[in-house]
Structure 1
Amino acid sequence: MQYKKLGNSDLQVSELCLGTMTYGQQNTIEEAHQQLDYAIYCGINFIDTAEMYPVPPQAQTQGKTESYIGEWLVKQQRDQIILATKIAGGSTRLKWLRSGNLRIDRTNVQQAIDDSLKRLKTDYIDLYQIHWPDRYVPLFGSPDYDVTQERETTPFLEQLEIFADLIKAGKIRYLGLSNETPFGVCEFCHIAEKMNLPKIVSIQNAFSLVNRTFHINLAETCRFHNVSLLAYSPLGFGTLTGKYLQKNAQGRINLFKGFGQRYDKQNLTEAVQAYVNVAQKYNLSPAQMALAYVRSRWFVTSTIIGATTLEQLKENINSAEIELSREILQNIDAVHFRYPNPTP
């Protein structure tokens, strides 16, 4: 396992990060702890969660994931674990979370961080991330920016001042973003520099063989602002394993109706089949090839992997041993040119 510096922080994170969004829904606490133990054994030191997990989000399970991790974390050497969690951003959908008021304002942030710390049974969070922006942006497969959807939002400066106080209080060490845009990254970075406030160190956005849109604008933005990408959904919600090429496959897309809508797109099946063909041509697991591709990108600091079974987790972690040859990468690019970004 290799380790990379996270932005301009002093954190050295493993190139694979353990995602935990299934804990409390598809995974029991015993299964969660087994996965956590195995990940640490394999050299992963980076764990990602969120206050709204598990998914699909619902009132009766909200917070279970953090609680499962907390029960495990108290038995670990805390300073050897880099723990990331997320505060839900502006939304009208999660009405049961903090009474539906999800503004990134002082009252909400203070409650969210205190609740997460309590569930996680820790005094501090290494990386605290805004799960999605407080302001309106197109999210989760929405294709266009719709000015009629713009809403009142907490100013960037005010948000940074709130998180600066949490850093001074020792509750968080570093700030990150998620599902953000080039505009958002630039504003957070410029204002932080101008006002001498804590700078964001990372962005957690989707990136995979079927969604390479990060290349277009965010790669340049993050390069020159020294913001690390934590790539989520590197398997495209499991589609890149090839399992959904079979009817009635087991997995979240089929288990939870409507949950994978952003992956119900034209040319996805054709693209996945083509990538599976490339993997088979070179005697690679489709999942491991997909993960190795993401890990090979110069702007990816850590690739977030998740699994519902220990066997899946082992396969995903073993992808860290695979280096894709130039020939394989050329074959991958040939597929991309035929089916560019079917799930942006």
Structure 2
Amino acid sequence: MPLNHYVTLGRSGLRVSPLCLGAMTFGEDLGWGSSVEESQTIIDRFIDLGGNFIDTANFYTKSHSEKILGDHVGRHPARRDRLVLATKFSGNLYPGDPNGGGSGRKSILAACENSLRRLQTDYIDLYWLHNWDVHTPIDETMAALEDLVRAGKVRYIGVSDTPAWKIAQANVMAHFRGWSSFVGLQIEYSLLERSVEQELVPMALELGLGITPWSPLKSGALSGKYTRANAGTQKGDRGAFVQSALSEKTYAVVDALEIIAREQGTTVARVALAWVQSQPGVSSTIIGARRLSQLEDNVGALDVRLTAEQLARLDALTKPAFGFPQSMQPIFPAIHNGGTTVNGVFMEASPYGVVKGEKPY
């Protein structure tokens, strides 16, 4: 699949490339990341390859990431309408100001105006709620976002790092009030982070939100750079982010990825990305590249077709164990249908519960 094999973001009509360029590493303001020159080179190459979806946030590298993208758009104004520019609000850039961040109306409207200025554009294609603000009623947030859409400053809205029940509440409310609703869901999702499969992924599938996973390589832990053989000797570009993810579980996953990479004639990173791309509901996976070589390697994941056996192997290795009520799902068919076979065992339903292999008294 080429990068210009565009897909719709969930149930919306917004067409995006199957990989999204994440710009969190643009700028060296935090002591790591890409220089301005390298960032511009990465943007150019991503667009040349057919990518049209770029994601940033007002908070990334102290807002320098947005400025780098804005300078690029400013130099190439003809590209603006061909791109899907996404940014986020919620992050507070003004220490000491209680209204400098969060999801209240005052904060959202100010954040949007500042992002438009830094991005050198008069509209944002996809505006993300970066993370849930527990102190602001969700109807206030959705009403403010609807005003931005109606004013033409925002085309679509999405949500990131928020509980499934709160997202469902927001979208149902928006639906009945005739407001714009979230069309995209941005969540951490990788072979090492699958807890989202309990509530967030099913919610997205049910409501038609396009999933855009972030950190699909778990901050680089699944890039192939960190292996059991060199444990403790490799230093990560993002320090604590990578080190906290390196464990026996991670090395077991990397071992399996290395085997599959050899079978496929490709790289560990591409296999890990291909697994994420194959998951239900995933529209466009966010890839972060600090160097041009990383971008080239990651884009190659679109050419990897994992077999059913390889997918099953990886799935079994990291499949999460869910709690209630998902843990009850296997017995529900017997309760609902008056008796059926579950995992080869006949289950008979009764007012007293479910009895395996025999009828209740």
Partner of 1:131: 130
1:4 and 2:11 correspond: no
Partner of 1:82: 84
* Kept after mapping to 2: 8 A contact 1:177/1:202: yes
What TM-score results when the alignment is normalised by the length of structure 1?
0.84
Where do 1:149-188 residues align within 5 Å?
Answer: 153-188=135-170
* SS of 1:252 mapped into structure 2: coil
Give the direction of change, closer, same or farther, for the CA distance of 1:8–1:281 in structure 2 (3 Å limit): closer
* Kept after mapping to 2: 8 A contact 1:177/1:203: yes
Cα deviation, residue 66, structure 1: 0.4
Name which of 42, 60, 80 aligns with 2:49.
42
Name which of 15, 18, 29 aligns with 2:18.
15
Where do 1:94-105 residues align within 5 Å?
Answer: 96=95, 101-105=100-104
* Kept after mapping to 2: 8 A contact 1:210/1:340: no
* Kept after mapping to 2: 8 A contact 1:178/1:203: yes
Where do 1:1-344 residues align within 5 Å?
Answer: 1=3, 2-25=5-28, 26-54=33-61, 62-74=62-74, 75-76=76-77, 77-88=79-90, 96=95, 101-135=100-134, 153-245=135-227, 246=230, 247-254=232-239, 258-260=240-242, 263=245, 267-337=249-319
Give the direction of change, closer, same or farther, for the CA distance of 1:52–1:195 in structure 2 (3 Å limit): same
Distance (Å, rounded) in 2 between the aligned partners of 1:113 and 1:97: 20
* Kept after mapping to 2: 8 A contact 1:180/1:203: no
Distance (Å, rounded) in 1 between the aligned partners of 2:56 and 2:12: 20
After superposition, what is the alpha-carbon deviation per residue over 1:55-88, rounded to whole angstroms, capped at 9, x for unaligned?
xxxxxxx111000010001214211000000112
The structure with more radius of gyration: 2
Partner of 1:147: none
* SS of 2:187 mapped into structure 1: strand
Cα deviation, residue 98, structure 1: 5.3
Give the direction of change, closer, same or farther, for the CA distance of 1:317–1:340 in structure 2 (3 Å limit): farther
Distance (Å, rounded) in 2 between the aligned partners of 1:173 and 1:262: 37
Moved more, 77-86 or 237-246: 237-246
* Kept after mapping to 1: 8 A contact 2:20/2:284: yes
Distance (Å, rounded) in 2 between the aligned partners of 1:103 and 1:88: 4
Distance (Å, rounded) in 2 between the aligned partners of 1:300 and 1:64: 29
Give the direction of change, closer, same or farther, for the CA distance of 1:193–1:322 in structure 2 (3 Å limit): same
* SS of 2:265 mapped into structure 1: coil
Cα deviation, residue 266, structure 1: 6.3
Give the direction of change, closer, same or farther, for the CA distance of 1:97–1:28 in structure 2 (3 Å limit): farther
* Kept after mapping to 1: 8 A contact 2:236/2:242: no
* SS of 1:237 mapped into structure 2: coil
After superposition, what is the alpha-carbon deviation per residue over 1:162-190, rounded to whole angstroms, capped at 9, x for unaligned?
01111111111111000122112211111
CA RMSD of aligned residues (A): 2.2
Give the direction of change, closer, same or farther, for the CA distance of 1:99–1:105 in structure 2 (3 Å limit): closer
* SS of 1:27 mapped into structure 2: coil
After superposition, what is the alpha-carbon deviation per residue over 1:86-105, rounded to whole angstroms, capped at 9, x for unaligned?
1125x8xx763856742211
Give the direction of change, closer, same or farther, for the CA distance of 1:295–1:97 in structure 2 (3 Å limit): farther
After superposition, what is the alpha-carbon deviation per residue over 1:218-243, rounded to whole angstroms, capped at 9, x for unaligned?
22211111111011111111010131
Q: Which amino acid aligns with 1:18?
A: L
Moved more, 299-308 or 320-329: 320-329
Aligned residues: 310
* Kept after mapping to 1: 8 A contact 2:87/2:128: yes
Cα deviation, residue 19, structure 1: 0.5
Structure 2: state its 5+ residue gaps: 323-361
Distance (Å, rounded) in 1 between the aligned partners of 2:185 and 2:218: 18
Distance (Å, rounded) in 1 between the aligned partners of 2:66 and 2:252: 37
Distance (Å, rounded) in 2 between the aligned partners of 1:28 and 1:232: 22
Q: Which amino acid aligns with 2:178?
A: N
Give the direction of change, closer, same or farther, for the CA distance of 1:97–1:49 in structure 2 (3 Å limit): farther
Give the direction of change, closer, same or farther, for the CA distance of 1:19–1:154 in structure 2 (3 Å limit): same
After superposition, what is the alpha-carbon deviation per residue over 1:11-46, rounded to whole angstroms, capped at 9, x for unaligned?
100100000111112211111110001000111100
Structure 1: state its 5+ residue gaps: 55-61, 136-152
* Kept after mapping to 1: 8 A contact 2:254/2:268: no
* Kept after mapping to 2: 8 A contact 1:17/1:302: yes
